[in-house]
Structure 1
Amino acid sequence: MNIVTLGSGHVATQLSKALYSLGHEIQQVYSKTSANACALAEVLSANYTSDLTTISRDADLYIIAVSDQAIDSIVSQLPNNLPGIIVHCSGATSSAVLDKFSHYGVIYPAQSIRKDIEIHLDQIPFAVEASDQQTARVLMENMKRLSPSTFTCSSAQRLALHTAAVFANNFSNALFQISYDILQAHELPFELLRPMILETAKKVQNHKPSSVQTGPALRGDSLTIEKHLQFLSENPQWLKIYQQLTEEISSQREK
């Protein structure tokens, strides 16, 4: 396929490089910052532009891989009669944002991706949504070559997946940082928790998370919980988070 990549960030970089490695031609890279477009295009042996009016009109696939806030702006500046399939890569944006085009869809990677960290996209599930059966067939055939875990879904299912991913990834990482800060304040290394974090992640690969839950909230250990609350009393934000998560775990115990 001849592909135009719109974006030069984390997902745009990793997805374009992966598709290029499969033999697809990345015809053009767009970024509002010319230097960023040039840097990515150089890796992909592609042309580049920072002007949407000069976007190629003969590509098979246009991948809009930008922040959710930027999708509408880019779509509004693209011509309605682009001949190829136009997709975005957002987990939370409806495919309907692309409905001015004849053939459109979504390819959403259910993974946190950074362009400066090596990642194997063939191990990542990709959620595919399409405007029609023919478009779905083309997207599935090509994305299955990249990742065997590619699957079709609706916008509602994709939003559910994205929301769940925020809980599993973004929120858990924020909690790791709180743990890090607590330990640093008491001259203890974060390395002390890394084996526990890895063991927890390992357990949920083969078990329902609630079935391997541990800790004072699950045990109903009010004495320990009170000690933790007193310890956190000088940081109201962390105290609030601890209370809310304790209530959530306790509710699981009561079910």
Structure 2
Amino acid sequence: MEVLLAGCVGAAAGLAGFTQGLAGFGSTLVALPVLGAVLEARTATPLGCLMALGINVCLMARLRGRVAWRELVVLLLASVPGMALGAWMLWDAPEALLKGLLGAYLVWCGARGVATAGRETPSIVGAALPGGVATGIVAGVLGVAIGVNGPPVVAWASRRLVGRDVLRATLAGYFLAAGVGIVGSQWVAGLVTPRVLWLFGLSLPALGLGLAAGATLCGRISEPAFRRVVFTLLTVAGFGLLWQAANTAAAGGG
């Protein structure tokens, strides 16, 4: 059993590092299903979040010179009132509806992005800042209300930021700030146990190898191919949210 556990944790870490090293996001998207197969949710979730935090620390250290700081600051500042609004909505938020709408948007955005990758050129423009404010607010609301804050940010940034390293660095900055808050709250709640920390330490070699492999591949594929990877992951995330919304609705959870 311990061998199986170690293998699954290593596989989850390798997939998480590779995916985020390549696309700049998606570590928990691929890691949590694997971790959830061998661990209870109270262990799998904080372990996956620690993995994501470690990945973003490494990406931010490596790519900090490529961060679009204006866009990052706008997203982070706008997320604060969004979080407050999400907390106010928490008890009455229609979870299935919110997940369904977000999932449908991500499927549309992802499929359109895959189809137009290489034909549309993202650009950083001043007029994009209102969109950044709106995205930050929405991400803050959804992060508190239904536990999903990343996809709206990725969808917006992938259409605004020029260059894969700029996109990956800016996403790493956003997810690093969010991850500190998430892991900190899990620590206060007693979820970051000695066992979680031991499993995280066990995952580090595979995490590092996966991150290095993903970053290497990212540097070797074309910009249109990179964009297709990003939008394909968004599409997968969208279908995942639609599935969750259907299950929530079927269970009578709003």
TM-score by length of 2: 0.23
Highest RCO, 1 vs 2 (Cα 8 Å, sep ≥ 6): 2
Greater percentage in strand: 1
Larger C-alpha radius of gyration, 1 or 2?
1
Greater percentage in helix: 2
TM-score by length of 1: 0.23
